[in-house]
């Protein structure tokens, strides 16, 4: 069963799903931005002839118009990927990132390890108006960008 908070007797802890919802909450109240992702495709697996991009993204512009929020997911189970993020016509002045990841895709939080999978600050660099962020395998990142 998927839930945002798990319990066991007197113990309660936040699940990785909770953290993803909390990260995506950064889009609430913002204006959605069209995203264009140029990424390698993952195998469809199981005889499926379709493909799935390794990277997915969503972006929004905050009401002040001076900053954007970009959520980026690396779907690959074992490979990291370096991403370049741009906001068309608006170069980045600075950026910060938070990433949710673990050593393996099946790692979870429980009563004994309630913070095994939690968002952590992550490196994001601005170079020539682009944001560069390296995503570990099976990760979700929230990138906040101050625009020029």
Residue 88 is predicted with a pLDDT of 80
**For 58-96, how does the pLDDT look when each residue is reduced to its tens digit (9 = 90+)?**
999 999 999 999 999 999 999 999 999 998 889 999 999
pLDDT, averaged in runs of 10, over the chain (148 residues) = 89 96 96 92 63 92 95 96 91 98 95 96 96 97 97
Residue 40 is predicted with a pLDDT of 87
| Tokens 């370096």, located at residue | 82
Per the structure block, which two tokens stand in for 148?
């020029």
DSSP states along 43-100: P--TT----EESEEEEEEE-TTSSEEEEEEEE--SS--EEEEE-BTTB-EEEEEEEEE
């Amino acid at each position: 069963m998927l839930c945002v908070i798990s319990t066991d007797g007197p113990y309660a802890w936040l699940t990785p799903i909770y953290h993803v919802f909390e990260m995506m909450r950064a889009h609430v109240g913002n204006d959605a931005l069209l995203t264009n992702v140029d990424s390698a495709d993952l195998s469809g697996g199981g005889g499926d002839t379709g493909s799935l991009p390794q990277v997915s993204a969503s972006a929004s512009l905050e009401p002040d118009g001076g900053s954007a929020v970009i959520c980026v997911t690396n779907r690959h189970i074992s490979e990291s990927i370096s991403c370049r993020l741009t906001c068309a016509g608006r170069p980045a002045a600075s950026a910060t990132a938070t990433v949710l990841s673990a050593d393996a895709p099946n790692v979870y939080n429980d009563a004994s390890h309630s913070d095994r999978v939690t968002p952590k600050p992550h490196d994001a660099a601005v170079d020539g108006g682009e944001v560069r962020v390296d995503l570990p395998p099976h990760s979700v990142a929230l990138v906040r960008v101050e625009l020029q």
